[in-house]
Structure 1
Amino acid sequence: PRKINRFILPVSCERINRLIGKEIPVDDTRNILTRLGINILSENFPEMQVEIPPRKTDMHNEADVAEEILRIYGYNRIETGTHINSSLTFSVRPDRNRMINVISEMLSSNGFNEIMCNSLVPSAWFDENPDFDKTTIVRLANPLSSDLNVMRQSLLPVGLSVIARNINHQNYNLKLYEFGNCYFYDNPSATRPVDRYSEKMSLGLFLTGNRYRQSWNEKNTQGDFFFLKSFIEMIFRRTGLEPESLNLDESRKSCFSDSIVYLKNDKVLAEAGRISEAYRLKFDIEQDVYYGNIEWDYLLNLTTDHRVSFRELPKFPWVRRDLALLVDREVRFSQIRDIALKTNKQIIREVGLFDVYESESLGLNRKSYAVSFILQDQQRTLTEKQIDKIMNDLIKELNTKLGAVLR
């Protein structure tokens, strides 16, 4: 056996007293150290050298000696000071953790349940899916099993496995969300190995089954694509980002059958849609599932300069006008809204869609949109003549750019 040498440690009574916050008499300090089996080898007040016994394996510095002295001296004998010391700290805005808590509380209050899933997943989820780049998958060098051999690149597969498990336990109506990191090996040429990998936080939303619990005063309405879309846009508005300022597109991913993509500066901010039947059946899920993904880090970057603003309530009344527009089936409501706001942004405040009608009687590949327009001038009350001119100009623009006609 090898003899363990005692640890020699230089300490200062003055520094110990400053750490404790009270002047402890030197005789009391000597007495406590002796009772603890700590030998004082030399003393040149206020400095001394002490010998730490081998059994005190957690004593490595002066602060540890002060803690031992205070434990014997008594915490209750340390009086409360008459002044408070504080330090100023700077935190990056918006506060990341605070924003997560705000959105979590909002979603939970709307009936969502938070899930926390393992970041280690089977490689088959990504190797066999054309939506993911195999070269950027982070693979474990020594995995525990083939079910835990890569780091996830999306919250979708593991979320679907949670839904499948709940359905198997007869929980058919689910609203779930998860804040989670996704991992990528996307910079293989970096000099430092750690720089070859990136970590991105995402917010995933999952809907399946009925919107709300069964109740005598609530119909059993199935959740759908637009129900999910409303929550995504609710999150945007809560973080200070107006959905109308984003560009829209459709996802090309094979996991979606119907989808929408939100773009900002030609970069994907969020995507949402109905999961395709082929992808659902891989997880043995027969009922419809709707999934939304928000690039959380990018969203926070966009809202860095966001500030709460206010203005005086308008003194003049607003006016509503409705139009029933016959358009091609490929025309989206967002196109109508964008044209309306560009036509007269100072007067047209809001554009809303309150009915969609499709029938063979409308013509081949045609549908009808019932659209509402809120008009308001901040400087004066609008007259009927002004309102008619604005609406006529708008109808001409819609006809020219979209081929829309009044029903």
Structure 2
Amino acid sequence: MKVSYQWLKSYVNALEESPQELAEKLTRSGIEVDIVENRNQGVSGVVVGYVKAREKHPDADKLSVCIVDAGQGEDLQIVCGAKNVAAGQKVPVALVGAKLPGGLAIKRAKLRGVESQGMICSAKELGLNDKLLPKEQQEGIMVLEPSLAVGTSILEVLAIDDAVLELDLTPNRSDCLSMLGVAYEVSAILGHEVTLPDVKAETLGSGAPVKAADRISVEITAKEHCSRFAARLIEGVRIGPSPQWMQNRLMAAGIRPINNIVDITNYVMLEYGQPLHAYDADKVANGHIDVRLAKPGETLVTLDDIERKLEPHMLLVTDGTKPLGLAGVMGGAESEVTAETTRILLESAKFDGGTVRRTSRQLGLRSEASLRFEKEVNPEAVIPALNRAAALMAELAGGQVAEGVVEAAAGQHEPVRIELTVGRINDYLGTKLSVQEVTDIFARLGFQVETLEQDGLLVHVPGRRGDITRQVDLIEEVARLYGYDNIPTTLMHGVTTPGALTKGQRVRRLTRALLTGSGLHEAITYSFTHPEQIAAFTGAYGDAKPVALSMPMSEERSVLRTSLIPHLIDAAVYNRNRNNDDIALFEIGRVFLTQEETLTRQPEEKLLLAAMLAGKRSETHWSGKADEVDFYDLKGIFEALAAYLGIRGLSYEPAQPEGYHPGRTARIVATSGGERRLVGTIGQLHPALQQQKDLADTYVFEVELDVLTELADERIAYKPLPRYPAIGRDMALVVDTAVPVGRMEEKAREVAGELLESIQVFDIYTGERLGGGKKSVAFSLVYRTPERTLTDEEVSELHGRVVAALETEFGAELRK
């Protein structure tokens, strides 16, 4: 929003601060001013001149010799190269001694032998944006109003001696998209009064022979998208240029003047923040307005002469049959005001911001009007802005305003009233403000306040401040106006809780530390995947149905993943294609599971940890051959992680989930407190999948991190170094190959009790000597107690009970 300082002064009484000082105070109160631009770029000594005569230069085809009255007592002879200079014009004249932007000083000169006593200037030479001028003046000198007095300073005529404050508004402060909104803000900061525009009743058609309701009618069909539509009728208008003062203000705001009618609608929009639109009333069938949604296949040629294909969600202003304009965005070319227009149907409405935003974005058609409607205009400004524009059309375009406003409303605006106490304000801000001080602050903002019991207040919020809906919004206003610098610095008091990580966060950090320390690299992949990837590797959640995205980025990312493994496979393929065959990756991420074909509720989310190993166990070295990784490398990494997290009682059971090797895969089970919990799956990828992806033997595990978190015991157990010696016993047992070794370890611990310090498998043998279906498992057991020295007899007796229990439970036989 560009704010002209001189224009602003017409609303704020006794504004004496300089533009720079005002910008500082606005910024301190929460309305950031990006830049203060001085419109005078170094112009002095330029006045209004009258071209009395123009003749062709005797020695130059492209030059003219002009006789100009500049109010200096005698006529000046000025050589000019502009094509559009002509006798009878009022033009800017830089006198001898004048200064122009860029340090240009005007001197007497001879051009092709003819003396020139000054310079007739273009807008660009005066430091103005010539793109905001009418097209015919963009390539030549600036032509001024014929009514201007000769000799008047151009600084006064063009309001060049002004500054423009460019506001960088946050989305909630749409009230400052208007001059009056900024004036209210400035008056609140400085404590001055606001002077509203004077709209004379006699200019609004009171007692006029024509009643608007007899000539025009309004209807709202799309009631959910337009809450109010008001119109006035102005007849007998004369289309022409708007006065210079209005053009100056529009150009300062960055808007190009067009004609008096269009300029008035833009001017009032900038003034009140309420967009308006003027229709040629003779082009509105039967003077009827119907606000409705577009029909399928309907089109509209907008004011920029582009035919727009409309969608059924787009809101239109129509005459009951054909569209007249895109509501809140841009008018239609068919009902445009032209030089022949004599009757104006003037619109002021409250359109739904979301509807306008969607239409504007879809058509790529952003306008000053749509910008304001998107942020929800002030519903209380609809009629005042309409009356202000109608009065200006009567004054500046010679129109006769028909009596009355014709309007339709789909709902009533409910004013916002908020109760709060001064004590609550002080509690929030750490201040000691009194009721009177707070009431004065709200009065400066233009809020009406009723005092309640004790220190209670009932605040009536005006419609222009749509950002204020709650108590905290009012407290923020008090803080802004009281001054952030005046709020004391106080220490926090009350019960505080030291910040700390949750158990889940700690476990994730420990997991990353352990896995990266084990040589794995963390991968971060998309949560979205291709349906074929899920079909190729379903993993442990094979019965889960993929959740399809309603608006996918691409087919490659069209469903939510049900496993982390497929994207790790992609990463392995990517590395292998670049001659990096040694893969060590892990990922922590969520999968999304549902049993529904058509989703009716949120899918279940599981936080998983997946890891992958492939290639060599170590780098190739001349001293020996580098071995390939196998199942036990990955199993060792997982068990190291489990030990790191304090998880005990792990066991492995055969499993054949889809996508895994049928003979080299196991379920990981944890036993805790007598309860068995499924942790996840570990194994080799299926050979067919490895062949399809051109991968060597690849090993993966995928476990539920939330289960690991529940089982994790972060307590560190300290115990003294043993004072008494240990006694070791070894045993080799022959059992069926299907017997899980982990179950044998559990049974041994159960029978030996506290005297068993450790048990470890140190050999597994299968061979012809044992017979088919048999294996030999060798255990090393260490017995010790911290209280005394164990005797050989009691260890032998306890060890015998362990062997007997294993023989009974698993049919084991001691190997001779």
User: Which residue is equivalent to 2:633?
Assistant: 227
Instruction: Flag the 1:193–1:216 CA change in 2: closer, same or farther, 3 A.
Output: same
Counterparts of 1:365-404 in structure 2, within 5 Å, are 368-395=776-803, 398=806, 401-404=810-813
**What whole-Å deviation, never above 9, does each CA across 1:254-301 have from its counterpart, x for those lacking one?**
42221221234455222211112212234x241222111212333344
- Does residue 1:186 correspond to 2:560, yes or no? no
SS of corresponding position for 1:346:
helix
SS of corresponding position for 1:2:
strand
Instruction: Flag the 1:344–1:66 CA change in 2: closer, same or farther, 3 A.
Output: same
User: Which residue is equivalent to 2:708?
Assistant: 299
State whether residues 665 and 684 of structure 2, in contact with CA within 8 Å, keep that contact through their aligned partners in structure 1.
yes
Question: Which one of 637, 652, 657 corresponds to residue 253 of structure 1?
Answer: 657
Counterparts of 1:20-99 in structure 2, within 5 Å, are 20-24=429-433, 38-44=445-451, 47=457, 49=459, 51=461, 54=464, 58-71=467-480, 73-82=482-491, 84-86=493-495, 95-99=503-507
Distance 1:260 1:202 in 2: 17
Alignment size in residue pairs = 396
State whether residues 40 and 49 of structure 1, in contact with CA within 8 Å, keep that contact through their aligned partners in structure 2.
yes
Distance 1:177 1:348 in 2: 36
State whether residues 341 and 349 of structure 1, in contact with CA within 8 Å, keep that contact through their aligned partners in structure 2.
no
Q: Equivalent pairs: percent with the same residue?
A: 22
State whether residues 9 and 61 of structure 1, in contact with CA within 8 Å, keep that contact through their aligned partners in structure 2.
no
**What whole-Å deviation, never above 9, does each CA across 1:76-96 have from its counterpart, x for those lacking one?**
4433325512356999x9732
Instruction: Flag the 1:193–1:147 CA change in 2: closer, same or farther, 3 A.
Output: same
Q: CA deviation at 1:366?
A: 5.5
Q: CA deviation at 1:359?
A: 5.4
Q: Which moved more, 1:358-367 or 1:175-184?
A: 358-367
Distance 2:463 2:620 in 1: 68
State whether residues 331 and 402 of structure 1, in contact with CA within 8 Å, keep that contact through their aligned partners in structure 2.
no
Letter in 2 for 1:252: Q
**What whole-Å deviation, never above 9, does each CA across 1:153-174 have from its counterpart, x for those lacking one?**
2222222122222333444333
User: Which residue is equivalent to 2:559?
Assistant: 150
Q: CA deviation at 1:73?
A: 4.5
Instruction: Flag the 1:346–1:88 CA change in 2: closer, same or farther, 3 A.
Output: closer
**What whole-Å deviation, never above 9, does each CA across 1:335-374 have from its counterpart, x for those lacking one?**
4423432442333321112344555566656555443211
Question: Which one of 565, 588, 611 corresponds to residue 205 of structure 1?
Answer: 611
Cα RMSD over matched residues? 4.1
Distance 1:132 1:355 in 2: 31
- Does residue 1:341 correspond to 2:341, yes or no? no
State whether residues 39 and 50 of structure 1, in contact with CA within 8 Å, keep that contact through their aligned partners in structure 2.
no
Distance 1:137 1:289 in 2: 26
Q: CA deviation at 1:250?
A: 0.8
Q: Which moved more, 1:197-206 or 1:79-88?
A: 79-88
Letter in 2 for 1:41: Q
Distance 2:717 2:541 in 1: 43
User: Which residue is equivalent to 1:176?
Assistant: 585
Distance 1:352 1:108 in 2: 27
Q: TM-score, normalised by structure 1?
A: 0.78
User: Which residue is equivalent to 2:35?
Assistant: none
Letter in 2 for 1:156: I
SS of corresponding position for 1:241:
coil
Distance 2:498 2:642 in 1: 28
User: Which residue is equivalent to 2:349?
Assistant: 2
User: Which residue is equivalent to 1:107?
Assistant: 515
**What whole-Å deviation, never above 9, does each CA across 1:139-189 have from its counterpart, x for those lacking one?**
326352443333222222222122222333444333322222222223799
User: Which residue is equivalent to 1:318?
Assistant: 726
- Does residue 1:350 correspond to 2:758, yes or no? yes
Distance 1:269 1:134 in 2: 16
Long gaps (5+) in structure 2: 1-347, 351-377, 381-414
**What whole-Å deviation, never above 9, does each CA across 1:13-53 have from its counterpart, x for those lacking one?**
44322211112467776776677xx3133353762535457
State whether residues 186 and 198 of structure 1, in contact with CA within 8 Å, keep that contact through their aligned partners in structure 2.
no
Q: Which has the higher contact order (CA 8 A, sep 6+)?
A: 1
Letter in 2 for 1:346: E
Distance 2:425 2:540 in 1: 58
Distance 1:261 1:154 in 2: 16
State whether residues 653 and 740 of structure 2, in contact with CA within 8 Å, keep that contact through their aligned partners in structure 1.
no
Distance 1:51 1:186 in 2: 51
SS of corresponding position for 1:316:
coil
Q: CA deviation at 1:229?
A: 1.3
Letter in 2 for 1:81: T
Distance 2:682 2:639 in 1: 11
State whether residues 137 and 150 of structure 1, in contact with CA within 8 Å, keep that contact through their aligned partners in structure 2.
no
Letter in 2 for 1:201: L
Distance 2:534 2:641 in 1: 28
SS of corresponding position for 2:657:
coil
Instruction: Flag the 1:219–1:23 CA change in 2: closer, same or farther, 3 A.
Output: farther
User: Which residue is equivalent to 1:277?
Assistant: 687
State whether residues 178 and 204 of structure 1, in contact with CA within 8 Å, keep that contact through their aligned partners in structure 2.
yes
Distance 1:130 1:98 in 2: 30
User: Which residue is equivalent to 1:120?
Assistant: 528
Instruction: Flag the 1:42–1:70 CA change in 2: closer, same or farther, 3 A.
Output: closer
- Does residue 1:140 correspond to 2:548, yes or no? yes
**What whole-Å deviation, never above 9, does each CA across 1:210-247 have from its counterpart, x for those lacking one?**
345678999845332112112222333344321xx244
Distance 2:478 2:682 in 1: 60
Q: TM-score, normalised by structure 2?
A: 0.42
Distance 1:71 1:256 in 2: 64
Q: CA deviation at 1:249?
A: 0.8
SS of corresponding position for 1:210:
coil
Q: CA deviation at 1:124?
A: 2.2
User: Which residue is equivalent to 2:383?
Assistant: none
Distance 1:132 1:82 in 2: 54
Instruction: Flag the 1:43–1:396 CA change in 2: closer, same or farther, 3 A.
Output: closer
State whether residues 542 and 658 of structure 2, in contact with CA within 8 Å, keep that contact through their aligned partners in structure 1.
no
State whether residues 442 and 449 of structure 2, in contact with CA within 8 Å, keep that contact through their aligned partners in structure 1.
no
